[in-house]
């Protein structure tokens, strides 16, 4: 009994010590909270004073020291005026000196022009909206403004105008930029529904494994006409498809038809293996999911296309024999196109990256997260701008795909296939690998980039590797 009493006392003493420490820290925490506002005001005041000194130095560099005679003076002071600059996510009004030339023309101060060229207000508004702040709550999300300083630009309407202007500017620059220098190796196309409209997005992967958003198109459904318009727009902006390109899709018929119509046999199709598994799961009862999905994953991990094909066909037979004809038909449809990365004998890491549409699903997910902040849609332009906002947000976090080192000039299997077939037409006496190297040497000797070959080579190329 005595021991238990002693232990209880020890615990009570420990708790009392914690309480004592807390009581001693409370004044310190209260002091920190109390000085936060004062510290922020001091920083604002110091910054505005430094800006005023900078503007005075700029005026002195143009008009000379104030109050001193200069015979060769080219400018002179003309009082002071108010001007607006961005500070803390809002517009603040500050006094600045005015300088005029002898001809009467107003001279601009370099410091003011520098601040205006780097106007961060629209960028700040866009970043706050991406974090989930509404335009109505934008002002409350900012730090308190400097005291005794007039400010504007943080209201709901101002934030909305800034957001509209910034998204239109960035979307226009993104969708109109030239693609001549892009060495495209992989193309991914997918669609998402936004406010009962379909937005189809194209994502490219370059030779160094970098993900590049290429464009978007908006329409009523994910039909072939919409996807064709998107792909033709990429070509009109200079996208070069001289060799074969690996195209990864989720199985949509409109996207598939558009790729055939625009790229022809230069498009090597890879159907997303994850989407195929999801489709199959929807046709099966829950007790069949484990066996069927495990069998599909085992087939997709096979080292050769023949082994993978054999496992999938055996699974088709098993499904038919167990009364799951719809699931068997779903697995049989597009079976060969789900094995393209296996046929190309890609390294396992790169195969995992290119066997699914996960790379573009991240982009689509970003669009979905950003657009859910909108409660009222007012026209197609709003849908397009917010989809573009989600695209820009995803692009900030893009990383190169895993296994990107295997995507190299002349060694990536899709490009190697094109080079080999083209080389055999020019050098029929050589082996395929030697013919491909001969084509590369031919291009490099004429100062062309090694991944590119002349269009005349491509035009006589046989059919797709998947056929």
- pLDDT 10s digits, 318-366: 999 999 999 999 999 999 999 999 988 888 888 889 999 999 998 898 8
pLDDT of residue 449: 45
pLDDT at residue 349 in the model:
86
The whole-chain average pLDDT of the chain stands at 78
Residues of the chain with pLDDT under 70: 1-44, 46, 87-88, 115-121, 143-147, 153, 408-467
| pLDDT at residue 288 in the model | 92
Enter the tokens of residue 382: 């709003």
pLDDT value of residue 321:
94
CA–CA distance, 315 with 333 (Å, rounded to integer): 13
> Residue written as tokens 């558009």?
258
- Quick: pLDDT tens for 278-290: 999 999 999 999 9
Alpha-helix runs per DSSP H in 98-155: 110-117, 121-130
Provide CB contacts within 8 A for 334, sequence distance 6+.
Answer: 251, 271, 276
Q: What is the spatial distance between Cα 366 and Cα 389, in angstroms, rounded to a whole number?
A: 9
Predicted confidence at residue 28, as pLDDT, reads 63
The encoded tokens of residue 389 equal 């906002």
Give the residue among 271, 290, 287 at the shortest CA–CA distance from 331: 271
Q: How far is CA 267 from CA 118, 241, 248, 257, 365, in A?
A: 43, 9, 10, 11, 26
For Cα atoms 46, 51, 54, give the angle at the middle one, nearest 5 degrees. 130
Determine the Cα–Cα distance for residues 319 and 312; give it in Å rounded to an integer: 11
Q: What is the pLDDT of residue 271?
A: 95
- Whether the model pTM is above 0.75: no
Tokens of 98: 């005015």
pLDDT for the residue 438: 67
Tokens standing for 400?
């190169």
If one counts every other C-beta atom within 10 angstroms of the C-beta of residue 252, the result is 18
pLDDT of 451 reads 42
pLDDT at 425 (0 to 100): 53
pLDDT value at position 208? Answer: 84
């Amino acid at each position: 009994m005595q021991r238990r009493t002693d232990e209880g006392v020890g615990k009570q003493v420990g708790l009392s010590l914690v309480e004592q420490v807390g009581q001693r820290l409370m004044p310190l925490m209260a002091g920190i909270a109390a000085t936060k506002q004062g510290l922020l005001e001091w920083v604002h005041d110091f910054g505005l004073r430094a800006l005023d000194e900078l503007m005075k130095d700029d005026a002195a560099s143009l008009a000379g020291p104030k109050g001193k005679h200069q015979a060769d003076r080219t400018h002179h002071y003309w009082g002071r005026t108010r001007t607006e600059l961005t500070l803390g996510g809002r517009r603040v009004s500050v006094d600045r000196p005015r300088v005029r030339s002898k001809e009467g023309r107003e001279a601009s101060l370099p410091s003011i022009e520098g601040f205006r060229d780097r106007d961060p207000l629209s960028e700040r508004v866009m970043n706050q909206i991406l974090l989930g702040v509404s335009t109505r709550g934008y002002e409350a999300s900012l730090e308190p403004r400097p005291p005794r300083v007039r400010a504007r630009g943080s209201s709901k309407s101002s934030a909305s105008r800034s957001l509209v202007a910034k998204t239109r500017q960035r979307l226009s620059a993104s969708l109109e930029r030239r693609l001549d220098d892009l060495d495209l190796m992989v193309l991914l196309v997918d669609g998402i529904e936004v406010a009962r409209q379909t937005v189809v997005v194209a994502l490219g992967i370059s030779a160094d494994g970098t993900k590049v958003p290429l464009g978007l198109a908006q329409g009523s459904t994910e039909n072939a006409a919409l996807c064709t318009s998107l792909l033709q727009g990429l070509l009109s902006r200079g996208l070069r498809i001289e060799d074969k390109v690996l195209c990864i899709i989720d199985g949509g018929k409109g996207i598939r038809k558009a790729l055939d119509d625009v790229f022809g046999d230069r498009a090597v199709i890879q159907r997303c293996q994850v989407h195929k598994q999801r489709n199959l799961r929807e046709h099966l009862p829950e007790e069949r999911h484990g066996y069927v999905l495990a069998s599909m994953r085992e087939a997709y991990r096979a080292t050769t296309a023949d082994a993978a094909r054999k496992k999938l066909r055996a699974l088709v037979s098993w499904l038919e024999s167990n009364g799951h004809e719809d699931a068997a038909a779903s697995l049989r449809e597009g079976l060969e196109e789900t094995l393209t990365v296996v046929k190309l004998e890609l390294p396992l890491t790169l195969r995992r990256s290119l066997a699914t549409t996960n790379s573009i699903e991240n982009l689509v997910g970003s669009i979905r997260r950003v657009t859910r902040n909108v409660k009222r849609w007012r026209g197609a332009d709003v849908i397009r701008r917010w989809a573009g906002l989600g695209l820009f947000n995803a692009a900030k976090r893009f990383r190169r795909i895993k296994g990107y080192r295997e995507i190299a000039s002349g060694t990536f299997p899709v490009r190697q296939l094109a080079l080999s077939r083209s080389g055999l037409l020019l050098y029929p006496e050589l082996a395929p690998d030697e013919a491909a190297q001969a084509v590369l040497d031919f291009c490099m000797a004429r100062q062309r980039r090694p991944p590119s070959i002349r269009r005349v080579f491509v035009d006589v190329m046989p059919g797709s590797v998947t056929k």
